């Protein structure tokens, strides 16, 4: 294992300190936690938006902290849920009295720990609501979830929920629009390589030089099918069609996200995007906005995912609203 770290046991803490040190005017680290919050938290008379999960998905989630997006991000160890007390600290730090909304990716550990934190916060008099994102169409249940996994589509939930909160939406309004995004977003991913969790020191699985894995998650868990390496167009077709087969996107405008999992050159993501756009055009689906880059990664995994979000006027307007988050500026 070659990694630019000091010690696997300190990687999480040092990363969080490195994030706080990068944006001292925008964010702050809560003392003795791995929680990063907006510098001006709690923002008065605004619903606080909290997300997080295991680390290793950067820029998710701390890169999405900013005006118009998240108020706090809680990081656990790599691919490991943060503990309820850490999530509780985040909730308390961003509550202005208008309530706190949790965006949870559907992984069993995250769901349990965020739920427990919500209960603890409610016991302290803070109103908490949540949404569980399950955009991955690859599997119904996985090694780490009951039901579908939450992957790159989660970033759209951060953006939209953050925008309506910034505009003064109530906790129930934030919840309603976040649920609408979850209903309307689907994703599918693939990998060329595994990734190496620092504490494990070796790849989570092995792929041969002529193999790829379809339906991959973002925690180094295996996908649904190992097959022979294909062309970019075939890969784009397989991912996009799996998404389109899962939900009726016809007649609607969509937002597209072609997401890199960590080690895939942006050149390759744009080649995939070319095919994704062609496929959507053939099907008569109109693309309103496209995002290409690394939004939800799995350490240094090579691979990509394709997400589609079905839009209406409300979602379009919130998607276009200002965001000052370092990893999602609009």
Angle, helices 154-166 vs 171-184, to 10°: value is: 150
- Residue 20 CB neighbour total at 10 angstroms: 18
Q: Return left, alpha or beta for 264; rule: phi > 0 is left, psi -120 to 50 is alpha, else beta.
A: beta
Q: Is residue 330 a contact residue for its own copies (CB under 8 A)? A: yes
x/- map, 108-127, its own copies, by CB under 8 A: --------------------
Q: Is residue 200 a contact residue for its own copies (CB under 8 A)? A: no
When binding is defined by CB under 8 A, the residue of 27, 138, 235, 319 that contacts its own copies is 235
x/- map, 272-301, its own copies, by CB under 8 A: xxx--x------------xxxxx--x-xx-
Q: Is residue 162 a contact residue for its own copies (CB under 8 A)? A: no
Whether 57 sits among the annotated catalytic residues: the reply is yes
Of 42 and 326, which CB lies nearer to its own copies in the complex structure? 326
Measured from the CB of residue 72, what is the shortest distance to its own copies in angstroms? Answer: 17
Question: What 3-state DSSP class applies to 328?
Answer: strand
Quick one: which segment of 45-53, 125-133, 205-213, 306-314 binds its own copies (CB under 8 A)? 205-213
Of 103 and 239, which CB lies nearer to its own copies in the complex structure? 239
CA distance 313 to 53: 30
Closest of 70, 48, 68 to residue 60, by C-alpha: 70
Measured from the CB of residue 64, what is the shortest distance to its own copies in angstroms? Answer: 12
When binding is defined by CB under 8 A, the residue of 33, 34, 51, 55 that contacts its own copies is 55
When binding is defined by CB under 8 A, the residue of 40, 122, 225, 229 that contacts its own copies is 229
Question: What 3-state DSSP class applies to 79?
Answer: coil
CA distance 311 to 330: 17
Closest of 219, 231, 319 to residue 271, by C-alpha: 231
Contact 95, 74 (CB under 8 A): no
Q: What is the largest distance, in Å, between two alpha-carbon atoms of the chain?
A: 56
Of 32 and 248, which CB lies nearer to its own copies in the complex structure? 32
Contact 290, 254 (CB under 8 A): no
Measured from the CB of residue 272, what is the shortest distance to its own copies in angstroms? Answer: 6
Of 97 and 265, which CB lies nearer to its own copies in the complex structure? 265
Closest of 38, 24, 101 to residue 66, by C-alpha: 38
Per DSSP, helices labelled H in 6-153 are 11-22, 84-94, 108-123
- Binding residues among 208-227 for its own copies as defined by CB under 8 A: 209-210, 212
Contact 298, 41 (CB under 8 A): no
Of 63 and 215, which CB lies nearer to its own copies in the complex structure? 63
Measured from the CB of residue 241, what is the shortest distance to its own copies in angstroms? Answer: 17
Question: What 3-state DSSP class applies to 161?
Answer: helix
When binding is defined by CB under 8 A, the residue of 233, 237, 247, 316 that contacts its own copies is 233
CA angle 284, 287, 293 (to 5 degrees): 135
Q: Is residue 5 a contact residue for its own copies (CB under 8 A)? A: yes
Quick one: which segment of 16-24, 131-139, 140-148, 163-171 binds its own copies (CB under 8 A)? 16-24
Q: Is residue 193 a contact residue for its own copies (CB under 8 A)? A: yes
Q: Is residue 267 a contact residue for its own copies (CB under 8 A)? A: yes
Measured between alpha carbons, how far is residue 156 from residues 142, 180, 232 in Å?
22, 11, 24
Q: Which residues are catalytic?
A: 57, 219
Site of interaction with its own copies (CB under 8 A): 1-7, 11, 14-19, 21-23, 55-56, 58-59, 63, 78, 192-193, 209-210, 212, 229, 231-233, 235, 258, 262-274, 277, 290-294, 297, 299-300, 302-304, 326-327, 329-330
């Amino acid at each position: 294992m070659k990694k630019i770290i000091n010690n696997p046991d300190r990687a999480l803490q040092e990363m969080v300190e490195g994030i706080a040190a990068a944006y001292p005017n925008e964010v702050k680290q809560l003392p003795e936690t791995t929680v990063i919050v907006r510098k001006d938290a709690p923002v008065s008379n605004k619903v606080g938006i909290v997300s997080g999960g295991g680390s290793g998905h950067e820029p998710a989630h701390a890169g999405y902290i900013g005006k118009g997006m998240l108020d706090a991000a809680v990081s656990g160890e790599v691919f490991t849920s943060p503990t309820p007390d850490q999530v509780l600290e985040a909730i308390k730090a961003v509550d202005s009295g208008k309530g706190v909304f949790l965006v949870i990716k559907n992984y069993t550990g995250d769901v349990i720990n965020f739920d427990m934190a919500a209960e603890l916060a409610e016991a302290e008099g803070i109103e908490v609501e949540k949404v569980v994102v399950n955009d991955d169409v690859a599997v119904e249940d996985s090694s780490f979830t009951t039901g579908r996994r939450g992957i790159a589509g989660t970033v759209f939930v951060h953006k939209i929920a953050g925008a309506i909160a910034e505009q003064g939406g109530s906790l129930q309004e934030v919840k309603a629009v976040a649920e609408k995004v979850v209903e309307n977003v689907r994703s599918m991913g693939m990998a060329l390589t595994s990734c190496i969790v620092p504490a494990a020191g070796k790849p989570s699985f092995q792929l041969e030089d002529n193999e790829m894995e379809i339906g991959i998650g973002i925690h180094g868990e295996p996908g649904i099918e190992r097959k022979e390496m294909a062309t970019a167009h075939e890969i784009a077709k397989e991912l996009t069609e799996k998404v389109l087969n899962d939900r009726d996107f016809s007649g609607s405008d969509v937002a597209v996200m072609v997401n890199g999992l960590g080690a895939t050159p942006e050149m390759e993501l744009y080649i995939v995007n070319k095919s994704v756009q062609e496929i959507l055009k053939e099907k008569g689906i109109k693309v309103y906005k496209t995002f290409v880059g690394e939004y939800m990664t799995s350490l240094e995994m090579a691979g990509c995912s394709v997400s589609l979000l079905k839009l209406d006027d409300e979602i379009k307007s919130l998607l276009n609203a200002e965001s000052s988050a370092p990893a999602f500026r609009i």
